[in-house]
Amino acid sequence: MSEPFTLDLQTYLGRLGYSAAPPPSLETLRELQLRHTAEFPFETLSTMLRAPVAVDPAAIQDKLFREGRGGYCFELNQLFLRLLQALGFEARGLTGRVVMGGPEDALPARTHMIVLVTLDGARYIVDVGFGGLVPTGPLLLDSDAQQATPHELYRLSLRDGSYTLRALVGEEWRALYVFDLQRTAEIDYTVASWYVSTHPDSPFLGQMIVARTGPQWRKTLHNGSFAIHRQGEVSERVQLADVDALLEVLRSEFGIRPPEHPALRATIARILAEQQG
């Protein structure tokens, strides 16, 4: 039997800029989500390397706090859920189906984790693990109105018991994922993460996807293509030329300490060659 997990609350709050635990309020929830997406990047370096992705809380905590890494939804949102619960929020996890880039009525596997927070009788969706379009503020669940965040506008719609989250990208409302309020357990995240990190159809397998937010900007890295998206401006894009340049971008732009993996440089070189060829 595994040992009970203990959240390193002091380190977690310190990384988010708090010297003491804040109260479980809507203002706190907004600040936590905004700071989290800026501090802990979304990244798929493990799946790029075809390395195991452990989603038990102790492993996630070590990866984020001590290994200088980020993670994907089953890592970032699972630890964030435990932070919210430790601070006194009423919160639980949900799973969703990613439809971004495909038909909205598709039924792909449940490969995304989000968090449901109930606060003063109102329900909010919170997500710190959706890559380059991660919402940077909580979204009121029971509303179909446009909702502002520090970055994009978002909108939720309900149909036949299923919610769809859309983001306004340019002039287009783009569907991101669909979800319902079905109860989940940790084993659901384990199974879904195993699929995402090992199945040959997974979009993360053998690919590098990295994202981070900041004041009115988003930074993304897709294999060798690095971009900075500033609100109201044309995106800046750079094609990274070699392995050293890419590793430097990971460190300086995303705050990631690249893992000491024997295949790291060769894998990155292959990805760059495929993208350039």
Query: Residues with catalytic annotation?
Result: 73, 112, 127
CA distance 116 to 127: 9
Token pair listed for 143? 């509303």
Q: Which residues contact 66 (CB under 8 A, 6 or more apart)?
A: none
When computed from its CA atoms, the radius of gyration of the chain, rounded to whole angstroms, is 18
Query: What element of type H or E holds 160?
Result: none
Q: Which SS3 state, helix, strand or coil, does residue 236 take? A: strand
Inter-residue contact 17 to 53 (CB < 8 Å): no
* 144, β-bridge pairs: none
Q: Which residues contact 163 (CB under 8 A, 6 or more apart)?
A: 125, 141, 156, 157, 178, 179, 180
